[in-house]
């Protein structure tokens, strides 16, 4: 086991690496939770992504704590805490301004595994060494001991932090079979950290992607949020496609991307770039928008096909919306509030054409106007023939009431001169 002395920022055993840690970045609340666990006679460490990110001088998202206290032991120490989770039972300990996750050391080997080797229940407690070994990557298995200012490294994770290598703990085939989500995590973390995935793991991912079909759709939904709302959406998307994993989460989207001209590819890339920008500048993002983008190509292709089969544009649209959402559900779940909102974004697209009197005001007042307008202008940037619409609605929002009325009147006059045939774009 190697240990780093935080103050001198050097490995105190036989290593040669140097890892300055900015301990000011560690959340006070988490340090207090550790102190209380210590005071009650337990071991407690910060572990996982928090330690990894500190070593890389990144702002950790969270500080998870690993301890030899059982969930019940921990629950008894903290008034503001509760036990959560079925697959893993962990304790959330609340403090001013947040909470931290406290997990008991777990052993890897006794977890029950199904016929494909996937872990289905995993609540066997173990030693700290065992807890390191059950983690996914070496750089995610470092323990920070705040009492002694040391980092405990049982898997040569420090070496890999330094070499910027994402290395699976143990045999990649076995570990990905145990939990296929680790393949998604590999791509996501490699992008986020700018690390290289070790060769044998790359090779395993390319062979084992289809195992993702066994992962419950609710878990893949959670993972999708981490993949695309983590401020590296565009690069992560490219990584997932390089490793041929994207198709196992979004098969309809993958098919449309492969068949389509460049517009749908552009739309997806622009939307992800936009998502990254929004997160960078602290603006809100919603999975509904991601879904609206990813499923737009498949939905539109189906709608066109149904129109060719003789359905009216409205009926074809409604049927395609329903069918596309249903087809996605076995892969990633779509909580109701997001599917409603996605439908709104789609349904409002054709209402942008109707710029007659009251319709304009009604659309402008719609709860989902802003998201639908953003979507419209993304389509325009992607090369769909909706430039004029995007421009009109951009100007409309910018001008005063009097000018708005003039704009509506002008487009009303124009549209009465043209055919009133209903079109869906
Ligand atoms: P992020 O920066 O995105 O939070 P993270 O590595 O901290 O990355 P978490 O999902 O917060 O990811 O997980 C915390 C820790 O739990 C990981 O660092 C890793 O040690 C362990 N872990 C998470 N998911 C798995 C998994 N599927 N298999 C094994 N260990 C895992
Ligand atoms: Mg984390």
pLDDT of 6 above 60:
no
Which position has the higher pLDDT, 272 or 119? 272
pLDDT of 15 above 90:
no
- How far is ligand 2, taken at its centre, from the CA of residue 53, in Å? 9
- How far is ligand 2, taken at its centre, from the CA of residue 61, in Å? 6
Residue 167's pLDDT band (boundaries 50, 70, 90)?
Answer: very high
Q: What is the pTM of this model?
A: 0.91
Pairwise CA distance, residues 186 & 160, whole Å: 14
> What are the pocket residues of ligand 1 if the criterion is a CB atom closer than 6 Å to any ligand atom?
48-49, 61-62, 64, 135-136, 140-141, 179, 181-182, 226
- Nearest atom in ligand 1 to the alpha carbon of residue 60 is 2
Residue 405 CA to its chain's centroid (Å): 42
Site to probe by mutation for ligand 1, drawn from 185, 187, 194, 223 as the one with most ligand atoms within 8 Å of Cβ, is 185
Query: Per-residue pLDDT tens for 189-211?
Result: 999 999 999 999 999 999 999 99
pLDDT of 119 reads 57
pLDDT of 19 reads 57
Which residue among the candidates 122, 131, 136, 145 is catalytic per the annotation? 136
Give all strands (DSSP E) within 78-205, no chain letters.
81-84, 90-95, 98-104, 112-113, 119-121, 142-145, 150-153, 165-166, 196-197
CATH T-level topology, domain 1-170: Beta Polymerase; domain 2 (3.30.460)
- How far is ligand 2, taken at its centre, from the CA of residue 38, in Å? 22
Average pLDDT over residues 146-162: 92
- How far is ligand 1, taken at its centre, from the CA of residue 103, in Å? 12
pLDDT of 9 reads 46
Quick one: which ligand is closest to 62's CA? 2
The domains of the chain are located at 1-170
- 64 counts as catalytic: yes
Query: Per-residue pLDDT tens for 82-137?
Result: 999 876 799 999 998 899 999 999 987 555 566 666 655 556 889 999 999 999 99
- Return all residues near 46 (Cβ < 8 A) that are at least 6 apart: 26, 30, 34, 63, 64, 65, 143, 144, 146
- Nearest atom in ligand 1 to the alpha carbon of residue 53 is 2
């Amino acid at each position: 086991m190697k240990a780093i002395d935080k103050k001198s920022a050097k490995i105190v055993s036989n290593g040669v690496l140097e890892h300055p840690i900015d301990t000011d970045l560690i959340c006070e609340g988490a340090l207090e939770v550790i102190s209380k666990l210590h005071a009650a006679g337990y071991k407690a460490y910060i572990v996982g992504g928090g330690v990894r990110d500190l070593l890389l001088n990144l702002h950790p998202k969270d500080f998870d704590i690993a301890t030899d206290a059982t969930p019940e032991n921990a629950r008894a120490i903290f008034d503001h805490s509760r036990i959560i989770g079925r697959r893993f039972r962990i304790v959330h300990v609340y403090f001013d301004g947040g909470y931290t996750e406290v997990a008991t050391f777990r052993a890897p080997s006794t977890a029950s595994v199904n016929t494909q080797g996937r872990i289905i229940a995993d609540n066997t407690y173990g030693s700290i060494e065992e807890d390191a070994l059950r983690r996914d990557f070496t750089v995610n298995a470092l323990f920070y001991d705040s009492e002694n200012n040391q980092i405990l490294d049982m898997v040569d994770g420090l070496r890999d932090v330094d070499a910027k290598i994402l290395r699976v703990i143990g045999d990649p085939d076995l570990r990905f079979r145990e939990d296929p989500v680790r393949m998604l995590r590999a791509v996501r973390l490699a992008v986020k950290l700018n690390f290289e995935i070790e060769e044998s793991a790359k090779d395993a991912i390319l062979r084992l992607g289809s195992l993702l079909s066994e992962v419950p759709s609710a878990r893949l939904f959670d993972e999708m949020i981490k993949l695309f709302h983590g401020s590296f959406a565009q690069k992560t998307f490219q990584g997932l496609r390089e490793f041929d994993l994207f198709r196992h989460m979004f098969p309809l989207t993958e098919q449309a991307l492969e068949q389509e001209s460049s517009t749908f590819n552009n739309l997806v890339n622009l939307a992800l770039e936009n998502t990254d920008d929004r997160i960078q500048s602290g603006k809100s993002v919603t999975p509904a928008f991601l879904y609206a983008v990813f499923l737009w190509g498949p939905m539109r292709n189906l709608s066109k096909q149904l129109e060719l089969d003789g359905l009216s544009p409205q009926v074809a649209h409604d049927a395609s919306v329903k069918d596309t959402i249903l087809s996605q559900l076995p892969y990633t779940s779509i909580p109701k509030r997001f599917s409603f909102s996605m439908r709104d974004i789609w349904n409002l697209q054709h209402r942008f054409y109707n710029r007659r009197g009251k319709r304009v005001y009604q659309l402008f007042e719609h709860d989902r106007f802003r998201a639908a307008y953003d979507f419209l202008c993304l389509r325009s940037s992607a090369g769909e023939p909706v430039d004029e619409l995007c421009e009109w609605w951009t100007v409309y929002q910018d001008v005063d009431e009097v000018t708005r009325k003039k704009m509506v009147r002008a487009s009303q006059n124009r549209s009465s001169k043209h055919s009133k045939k209903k079109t869906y774009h």
